[in-house]
Amino acid sequence: MRDPAERAGITGMAAVSVLGRGAQAQLAGGLGGAAGFAPVRRFDVDRRRVRVAATLPDAGSLGDELAGVVREACEQAGLTPARRAATPLLLAVHGHPAAGRMSEKDSSVPTAAGFAAELATSTGLGGVAGVYTCACVSGSSAVADAAALMRLGQADRVVVAAGYLVEPDQFALFDAGRALATDGAARPFSAGRGGLLLGDAVSAVVLEAGARDPRAEVVGWGRAGDGYHTVRPDPGGAGLARAITAALRRAGVLPAEVGYVNANASGAEGDAAEAAALHRALGAAAATVPVSSTKSVHGHGLEGSGLLELIVTALAIQAGKLPVNAGYLGGDPACALDVIVGAPREAASPYALSLNAAFGGANTALLVRAAA
Amino acid sequence: MTTAELPVLAEVEWPRGTEPPAVPGFVVSSFSPLVAELARRCLTERHGGAPAPAEVGARTGVLLVTASGDAQSAAHVAYAVDTGARVGPLLFFQSVPNSVAGHVATRWGLGGPVLCVSPVGPDGEARATGLARARLLIDDGDADEVLVVCVEQAVEQAAEQAAEQAAGQQTGDGPTGSAFLVSRGESR
């Protein structure tokens, strides 16, 4: 077991979303509070009920965008080619981008692990240590595992990458499931919210155990399941609350010390379950901790969401400024939280939670601390 | 990553070439039904029947290991999108492997972590990946027991299968799979 002081330090981070290219663009977009939803031009949406998403107009392929953020994060962390070659990749994706469209003519099976191996090779990393295909907790689960490996002394440095670019198949599925908002905006925790909207989310971080000068640290993490329903969250928030409690316990941080929550809330009915989880886990502090969901500006990046949101959260708590919850029309009694609306807030604590939840009742909580 | 043996409390193999029973709410593909059936057989070996005892179930995780994922559903959706056919709403709910993992967790009262991963490592062996990830969850303290379900679908002809399914034809070889339940045991 490693010395608790040697936490998983974030020494490099890079991201791409509708908010722009580069990690700082994500923070600027979150603080600006202008939602990036617009009509989809990337593929045909004529047959869809909803036709908007948060897409970056000049986005390349998922493989190219992932390679770009991995290289940028590694450069930021100052990793030499030799160090890169000794650093494994943990990747969070839905699957191989070609999955579902191969034919008898194709010579190899397009798997997520194969896609990860190609990414590791093209970016000079030392192989693949994990591939996460667990929907909207994929990126955050990868970070939790990375932090766990470091705590247990089984890894010194890893690169975690996660990516989703809005594409026709998932768009069609979310549209068919009537999960998308019909009024052009995602409104987390708000009265009158009508669903989520999809968005591009491609990002990478370098995590190093006991880094001397990290940009932020992952000091706590937790994962727990609802055991309640195939796809709907437990309205009582029990699973997510256990994930939050586990993250705080690992860090030795009290609920009242948490200065910001970047919530999983997407603008769907299930946002109320997250509010219940926060009250369950944080007690009285749940009513006063500033909360926002940056999905309100960059959309829901599915497998890419957890890592992008961790980056926004880490940069925000480091800058001491907390992102706005866009699209908010007014309070919902079922979501009795201190939601950040209108303008960014000043951070009162160096600790922030980034929460994620997914189909299957999967929940994760990541606790980050701003670098001293 | 440590791969030392964990106590295996139950283990089942799927007989190759057979189809699992259907599960209400899951359509088109044998992937989710096979996960559910493997989980049922494995957990029945451990607990006798659903649900698991509350104190054990609360700290039991569900870990799905698959390289192919639900290839039949993915091909079905891709075919529908490419041909302008209707995409049924039930497909949304099975669009990620988490859903059937949640189905298992709900039926058996499991409150540990829910994870879906691809096999990695030199030989890409699902059992080794499952053991390593389960061990990490247990050693890290988020679970005392982990149900590991490994399932693969033949994907070589998934697109053709989708077209055949659309034409009402029976398709494809059966899926393959196994499941095992590992425990913290006395190893900590």
Task: Considering only the beta carbons, identify the residue of A95, A152, A176 that sits closest to B88.
Answer: A176
Token pair for B8: 């295996």
Mutant choice from A103, A231, A232, A366 vs B, greatest count of B C-beta within 10 A: A231
Q: What is the pLDDT of residues A19-67, one digit of tens each?
A: 999 999 999 999 999 999 999 999 999 999 999 999 999 999 999 999 9
For B94-137, what is each residue's pLDDT tens digit?
Answer: 999 999 999 999 999 999 999 999 999 877 799 999 999 999 99
Asked whether residue B169 carries a pLDDT value surpassing 70, the answer given is no
Query: Nearest by CB to B98, which of A149, A172, A359?
Result: A359
Of B25, B112, B124, the CB nearest to A230: B25
Distance from CA of A370 to the nearest CA of B (A): 24
CA atoms within 13 A on the CB side of A129: 24
Q: From the DSSP assignment, how many helices (H) and strands (E) are in chain A?
A: 10, 16
How does A51-63 read in b/e, with b if 16+ C-beta sit within 10 Å? bbbbbbeebeebb
d(CA A16, CA A24): 10
Comparing C-alpha atoms, which of A259, A238, A239, A229 is closest to residue A359?
A: A229
CB-count burial class (<10 Å; 0-12, 13-18, 19+) for B169: exposed
The whole-angstrom separation of Cα A67 and Cα A60 is 11
| Chain B residues in contact with A104 (beta carbon < 8 A) | 156-157, 160
Report the alpha-carbon distance of residue A363 to residue A354 in Å, rounded: 11
A143 contacts on B by Cβ (under 8 Å) = none
The single-letter DSSP state of residue B70 is: S
Residues of chain B neighbouring A172 (CB-CB closer than 8 A): 77, 80-81, 87
Residue A224 has its nearest CB partner, among B74, B87, B111, at B111
Q: Does the beta carbon of B27 lie under 8 angstroms from any beta carbon of chain A? A: no
Q: Does the pLDDT value for residue A356 go beyond 80? A: yes
Question: How far is it, in rounded angstroms, from Cα A236 to Cα B187?
Answer: 34
Which of the four pLDDT bands, split at 50, 70 and 90, describes residue B188?
very low
**A178·B89 Cβ contact <8 A:** yes
In whole angstroms, give the CA distance from residue A27 to residue A29: 5
* Of residues A3 and A288, more confidently modeled: A288
Q: What is the mean pLDDT of residues A66-91?
A: 98
Neighbours of A236 (CB within 10 A): 15
Summarize the confidence of residues A237-255 as an average pLDDT.
98
Distance from CA of B112 to the nearest CA of A (A): 5
Alpha carbon of A104: minimum distance to chain B alpha carbons (Å): 6
SS3 breakdown of chain A: % helix, strand, coil, rounded to 5? 35, 25, 40
Say if residue B171's pLDDT is above 60. no
pLDDT at residue A187 is higher than 70? yes
- Is the pLDDT at A263 greater than 50? The verdict is yes
CA distances from A329 to A187, A188, A199, B64 (A): 8, 10, 21, 40
Cβ A44 vs Cβ A168: under 8 Å: yes
Give chain A positions within 8 Å (CB) of B136: 145, 148-149, 152
Report CA-CA distances (Å) from B97 to A101, A103, A136. 18, 23, 11
Provide the phi-psi class of A264: left if phi over 0, else alpha when psi is between -120 and 50, else beta.
Answer: alpha
Q: Using CA coordinates, name the residue in chain A closest to B130.
A: A130
The Cα A367–Cα A250 span in angstroms is 9
Nearest neighbour of A229 by CB, restricted to B67, B95, B102: B102
State pLDDT tens for residues A198-237.
Answer: 999 999 999 999 898 999 999 999 999 999 999 999 999 9
Average pLDDT for chain A:
96
**Among candidate residues A6, A10, A26, the one with its CA nearest the CA of residue A18:** A26
- Is B95 near chain A, with CB under 8 Å? yes
Nearest partner of A102 among B174, B156, B165, judged by Cα: B156
Q: Is B53 near chain A, with CB under 8 Å?
A: no
A153-186 residue pLDDT tens: 999 999 999 999 999 999 999 999 999 999 999 9
Question: Is any Cβ of chain A less than 8 angstroms from the Cβ of B8?
Answer: no
CA distance B137 to chain A (A): 8
The minimal CB distance from A135 to the residues B75, B84, B98 is found for B98
- Which one has a higher pLDDT value, B169 or A371? A371
Whether B179 and chain A come into contact, CB under 8 Å, resolves to no
| pTM, two decimal places | 0.96
Q: What is the mean pLDDT of residues A305-331?
A: 98
A-B Cβ pairs (cutoff 8 Å, strict): 204
**What residues does A159 pair with on adjacent strands?**
A89, A206
User: Tokens 């499952």 belong to which residue?
Assistant: B130
CB nearest B105 (choices: A109, A148, A227):
A227
In the predicted structure, residue A196 carries a pLDDT above the cut 90: yes
**CB pair distance less than 8 Å for B93 and A172:** no
Which of A48, A132, A134, A366 best tests the B interface by mutation, with the highest count of B CBs <10 A? Answer: A134
Work out the burial of residue B181: count CB atoms within 10 Å of its CB; fewer than 13 is exposed, 13-18 middle, 19 or more buried: buried
Report residue B172's pLDDT band, with 50, 70 and 90 as the boundaries.
low
A130 contacts on B by Cβ (under 8 Å): 117, 120, 133
What letter does residue B29 receive in the DSSP assignment? Answer: -
Nearest CB partner across the interface for B156, out of A104, A111, A152: A104
**Using the beta-carbon criterion (under 8 Å), do B93 and A179 form an inter-chain contact?**
no
- Mutation site, B1, B72, B77, B81, interface A, largest A CB count within 10 A: B81
Q: Pick the closest to residue B149 from B180, B119, B109 (CA basis).
A: B180
Q: Does B52 touch chain A (CB under 8 A)?
A: no
What b/e sequence results for A6-23 when a residue is b if at least 16 CB atoms lie within 10 Å of its CB, and e otherwise? bbbbbbbbbbbbbbbbeb
CB of B96 within 8 Å of any CB in chain A? yes
Contacts with A180 from chain B: Cβ below 8 Å: none
Chain A positions in Cβ-Cβ contact with residue B75 (cut-off 8 Å): 100-101
Who contacts B156 (Cβ-Cβ below 8 Å, separation ≥6)? Answer: A102, A104, A106, A109
Q: Per the CB < 8 Å rule, is B120 touching A229?
A: no
ipTM above 0.90, yes or no: yes
Q: What are phi and psi of B77, to 5 degrees?
A: -65, -45
DSSP A249-305: HHHT--GGGEEEEE----SSTTHHHHHHHHHHHHGGGGGTSEEE-THHHH-B-GGGH
Q: Using a CB–CB cutoff of 8 Å, tell me whether B166 touches chain A.
A: no
- Listed residue (A308, A296, A309) closest to A353, CA to CA: A309
A290 compared with B155, residue with greater pLDDT? A290
